[in-house]
Amino acid sequence: MELKETTISETTVYDGHIIKVRLDEAKLPDGSTAPREVVVHPGGVGIALEDEEGKFFFVTQYRYGQGQVMLEYPAGKKEPGEDPLETAKREIVEETGYEGLGFVHLGSLVPTPAYDTEVIELYYAKQGEFRGQHLDADENINLTRLSLDEITERIVRGEVTDAKTVAMTFLIKEFKERGTIA
């Protein structure tokens, strides 16, 4: 059975600073049509930065859309045309103050595929030199460091629900077990 839908038309209904929202008309496999609402996002990165003690840097910040403070791996939005690895290198310094060394691409995460174009590229790196934190003007975060076992326990207890953090923790454990990262 064919599953692909074809875009017939696109209408931008909102064009904001971070996202754009479209209302598309799509042709379904059976020939009928249906409206599709699409959030257009430039994509981003998540970075698992490990220190010499085997602990990882995490940011705690208020997430307005969820209405709560959340614990997450450092992350950030790609600039137009920016290579995701360059985004990761920039964002890790901005949020933690430390450069990352020996970046390893862990994979890609599509957080909400039904209506959002966002793809998050996931990276692992070792802690490098301190360069100084450079937060955005509207960014307020606290830093903490946790071991993989500590973050896993918080995920299992339901205290951490951020999709990239859950996925990255699983991937890091698997990559370490398989010897892909030390």
Is 136 found in the same domain as 57?
yes
Domain containing residue 122: 44-177
Interval 55-97: pLDDT, tens:
999 999 999 999 999 999 999 999 989 999 999 999 999 999 9
What pLDDT, on the 0 to 100 scale, is given for residue 182? Answer: 86
Q: In terms of domains, do 52 and 110 share one?
A: yes
162: number of Cβ within 10 Å? 19
Residue 66, domain CATH: 3.90.79.10
182 within some domain: no
Residues 29 and 83 in one domain: no
Q: What percent of the chain has pLDDT over 90?
A: 95
> Is 55 among the domain residues?
yes
Q: Do residues 10 and 100 share a domain?
A: no
For residues 7-24, give the mean pLDDT: 97
Are 24 and 108 part of one and the same domain? no
Task: Mark residue 97 as left, alpha or beta (left: phi above 0; alpha: psi -120 to 50; beta: remaining).
Answer: left
Share above pLDDT 70 across residues of the chain, in percent, rounded to a whole number: 100
Average pLDDT, the chain: 97
Q: Do residues 33 and 111 both lie within one domain? A: no
Q: How confident is the model at residue 136 (pLDDT cuts 50, 70, 90)?
A: confident
Q: How many domains does the chain have?
A: 2
Find out whether 87 and 78 touch, Cβ atoms under 8 Å: yes
Are residues 75 and 36 both part of a single domain? Answer: no
pLDDT at residue 3 tops 90: yes
> What pTM, to 2 d.p., does this model score?
0.95
